[in-house]
Copies of this chain bind each other. A is one copy, B any other.
Amino acid sequence: MKYLFYFLIVTFSCSLYSQDLNDHKVFLDKIYNEALSNGQSYEWLDYLSNEIGGRLSGSINYDRSVKWGKDELDLIGIDSVWLQPVMIPKWVRGAPEYAHIESSPGNTISVPVAALGGSISTPSIGISANVIEVKSFDELSNIGKDSITGKIIFFNRKMDPTLINTFQSYGGSVNQRTQGAAIAAKLGAIGVIVRSMTTTLDDYPHTGSMYYDGLTLNERIPAAAISTNGAELLSSMLSLNPNIKFFFRQNSKNFPDVLSYNVIGQIDGSERSDEIIIVGGHLDSWDLGDGSHDDGAGIVQSMEVIRILKNLNYKPKRTIRVVLFANEENGLRGGNKYAELAKKNNESHFFALESDAGGFTPRGFSFDTSESEFNALKEFKDLFKEYGADNFIIGGSGADIGPLKDDKIILAGLRPDSQRYFDYHHAASDTFDKINKRELELGAAAMTALVYLLDNYKL
């Protein structure tokens, strides 16, 4: 029954298409068949996640992933593969963090915490202080410096569970993590604890970047994420007794920048080789898990785009590059360097596509371009309908390709289903077993399809 239905849809739709769109339809089927029956992305990610693992900027694992990425791209047999040097930050977590709530002298309950990326260490004996729980920066500033001085600030605003797109919920809470320590430090706090950015209740602290906003070394205070279960416990204990103390200890450290690389592979264009299309994700990850969803998935999907096109013997009109960006998580140095050199070398980028929202079932794409261009691109929307990836929206694209933005380039991001992403995001639970092979492959296929269509767009 369903077969017949799909057949009718396709038949009917095709009659509306130009011959071009008909040809595209045939090629898109080839792309999907290749991705789903002969895909390489899952095997690649198995290696990257399980043999290399977490690959924080500046770590040996990051360098290992650079070598791996280059070697695998070389094996595909494309026109060129190279490393693009870039100086990246090196922040090290150090020994595992420890924290407890002290309800009365000597009575402690340990809770899971993890230093936020970029945070300074506590003193080696840790810090212990009374806690002030707040939900917003306004609430904090209303409390005032006198009450805050010498305290630990506990930012406990939840991600809003009622928003369907979890990235919106994240956007509504993440400033506690990125700016909380800087704001609290200026008001006299000696440390910051931030509720993990996830809608789940679990025992994983979710790390992520934070910034000191120009504070001198002496003015900085340590900041850590606490698991959501830990945050619930701390909050309920504070409501019973505001005088409980919180203790935490971490010995994270910032080192001088180190040399590393973006990894780039290229198939030369056959007609407009000076117009460049790039597809990419970020090769670095946080250190707690193995970074399978953030952003190992985007890396292997981007590599798969190139492999599929090569394997189908497709000769692109434009030059198609895969870029494995360095240091998205805590600096964006890879994306900035790529854009800086593109400008310096007068390279013309026609289209850039990023996958950095997890390896889940693709629902569509977001486009960062003009409204008129977006409306023109909607011509392709129906082609993605039967693959379930036809949700085209205007919105962001990806952090790494953002620096390329000008008034010519079309930027886009793969938009997978977002429900599970923040269960794992930046936590020890972001591991390969959370990857579904078919979902990963469908993302790679959708990306390949869009790159193919854009290669044939506006010729």
Measuring CB to CB, which residues of chain A are less than 8 angstroms from any residue of chain B? 1-3, 5, 32-33, 36-37, 161-162, 164-168, 171, 199-200, 361, 363, 386-388, 391, 393-396, 417, 419-420, 423, 436-439, 442
CB atoms of B395 and A5 under 8 A apart: yes
Complex CA gap A32/B437 in Å reads: 30
CB atoms of B162 and A419 under 8 A apart: no
Q: Using Cβ atoms and an 8 Å threshold, which residues of chain B touch A3? A: 168
Q: Using Cβ atoms and an 8 Å threshold, which residues of chain B touch A161? A: 36-37, 438
CB atoms of B436 and A423 under 8 A apart: yes
Of the A-B pairs whose beta carbons lie under 8 Å apart in the complex, a sample of 13, sorted by A's number, is: A1-B396, A2-B165, A2-B171, A5-B395, A36-B162, A37-B161, A164-B386, A361-B419, A388-B391, A419-B436, A420-B436, A420-B439, A423-B436
Contact partner of A393 (CB less than 8 A), chosen from B5, B168, B200, is B5
Contact partner of A419 (CB less than 8 A), chosen from B2, B164, B171, B439, is B439
Q: Using Cβ atoms and an 8 Å threshold, which residues of chain B touch A164? A: 32, 386-388, 442
Complex CA gap A199/B42 in Å reads: 14
CB atoms of A162 and B420 under 8 A apart: no
Complex CA gap A419/B162 in Å reads: 25
User: If A164-B386, A388-B363, A439-B420 touch, does A1 touch B395 (CB 8 Å cutoff)?
Assistant: yes
CB atoms of A199 and B438 under 8 A apart: yes
Q: Using Cβ atoms and an 8 Å threshold, which residues of chain B touch A393? A: 2, 5
Residue on B with the closest CB to A34? B162
Residue on B with the closest CB to A33? B162
Complex CA gap A165/B171 in Å reads: 32
Q: Using Cβ atoms and an 8 Å threshold, which residues of chain B touch A1? A: 395-396
Q: Using Cβ atoms and an 8 Å threshold, which residues of chain B touch A391? A: 388
Q: Using Cβ atoms and an 8 Å threshold, which residues of chain B touch A5? A: 393-395
CB atoms of B361 and A417 under 8 A apart: yes
Contact partner of A162 (CB less than 8 A), chosen from B2, B32, B167, is B32
Query: A101 to nearest B CB, angstroms?
Result: 26
Most buried by B among A36, A417, A436: A417
Complex CA gap A395/B8 in Å reads: 13
Complex CA gap A433/B164 in Å reads: 22
Q: Using Cβ atoms and an 8 Å threshold, which residues of chain B touch A395? A: 1-2, 5
Query: A298 to nearest B CB, angstroms?
Result: 18
Q: Using Cβ atoms and an 8 Å threshold, which residues of chain B touch A166? A: 438
Q: Using Cβ atoms and an 8 Å threshold, which residues of chain B touch A419? A: 361, 436, 438-439, 442
Complex CA gap A2/B167 in Å reads: 10
Residue on B with the closest CB to A200? B437
Residue on B with the closest CB to A32? B162
Query: A364 to nearest B CB, angstroms?
Result: 10
Q: Using Cβ atoms and an 8 Å threshold, which residues of chain B touch A200? A: 437
Query: A272 to nearest B CB, angstroms?
Result: 31
Query: A453 to nearest B CB, angstroms?
Result: 18
| 4 nearest A-B pairs in the assembled complex, by CB-CB distance | A419-B438, A33-B162, A36-B161, A2-B395
